[in-house]
Amino acid sequence: MTHITLPQIQAAYLTAADVFDGHTKAEVGAHALNQQHGLNINTARDLINQYRSLVRGTEFKRSLSSMALDHYLASLLNDRGREVAENAIAATWLHIAYYETTAKTRMSKLRSRVTAFQSSLTGPVSAAIYDAQLAAAVVRARKDGAAARKLRLANATKIPQTQVATGRIFIRNPDVIAEVLDLAAGICGSCQTAAPFSRKSDGTPYLEVHHKQQLSNGGEDTVANAIALCPNCHRKQHYG
């Protein structure tokens, strides 16, 4: 995304809100931002689309500047409340996971901004935020490589922490997930067949990490207590 100014971001936010609320069409808003505020037309479209994704809590793929993220997050909290702000946080973590996978880069600035905003919220946050943040953490853990992961795993606590997040959740170690997936090499640990498909984001085999003794039953969050399973075998472990 080309460099844009705060006034342009503020104008884009207001236009995107009008589009989302049905007061104007997306393309009309994008052209207005281009003609009246000097925004590149594609950047204007991106900012309008990203607003929608943030409000809904869904992944977006086009890059978003840290300045724009700061303004969007703070404004969404003020204008649409806590629930939408939490959706925006989850969407940002999903974007980070996607971008760090496909662009082969580390989004340190965006990570620090969303982490700071998330920390500013009092009380428990939604489980959707935790799930999206874990996805981003696993991407980074896999990028770090086996040697760095093994060093951290050797010093990691085996008993996961818990956190209230619209219910009680376990704070899972992303290094455990990354290590188990790498060790599986694309083969289900139960039926011994290849993963049913590859992830669209990076082409890696899609397997799910399952704890042999469930964390809720006192199981440890360790490589030894985890196994990579195809979705069918994973469901069988829980419901079969």
Q: Residue 209 is inside which H or E element, if any?
A: strand 208-211
Q: Residue 197: which CATH number? A: 1.10.30
Residue partners of 100: CB distance under 8 A and separation at least 6: 106, 107, 136, 139, 140, 143
Write out the chain's pLDDT in tens, 240 residues: 458 999 999 999 999 999 999 999 999 999 999 999 999 999 999 999 999 999 999 999 999 999 999 999 999 999 999 999 999 999 999 999 999 988 778 899 999 999 999 999 998 889 999 999 999 999 999 989 899 999 999 999 998 888 877 767 888 999 999 999 999 999 999 999 999 999 988 889 999 999 999 887 889 999 999 999 999 999 999 888
- 117 and 184 belong to one structural domain: no
Residue range(s) defining the domain that contains residue 156: 145-239
Which of 80, 103, 131 is the last residue before a domain boundary?
A: 131
Query: Is there a single domain that holds both residue 107 and residue 154?
Result: no
Per-residue pLDDT at 200: 84
Domain boundary, last residue among 131, 165, 193: 131
Q: How many domains does the chain have?
A: 2
Indicate if 178 and 113 belong to the same structural domain: no
What pLDDT, on the 0 to 100 scale, is given for residue 2?
Answer: 58
146 CB burial (10 A radius; 0-12, 13-18, 19+): middle
| Together in a domain, 122 and 169 | no
Establish if 19 belongs to a structural domain: yes
The pLDDT, as a whole number, for residue 102 is: 85
* Side-chain-side CA neighbours of residue 229 (13 Å): 16
Same domain, 180 and 235: yes
Its pTM stands at 0.81
Structure tokens given for 165: 């997040």
In a domain, 139, yes or no: no
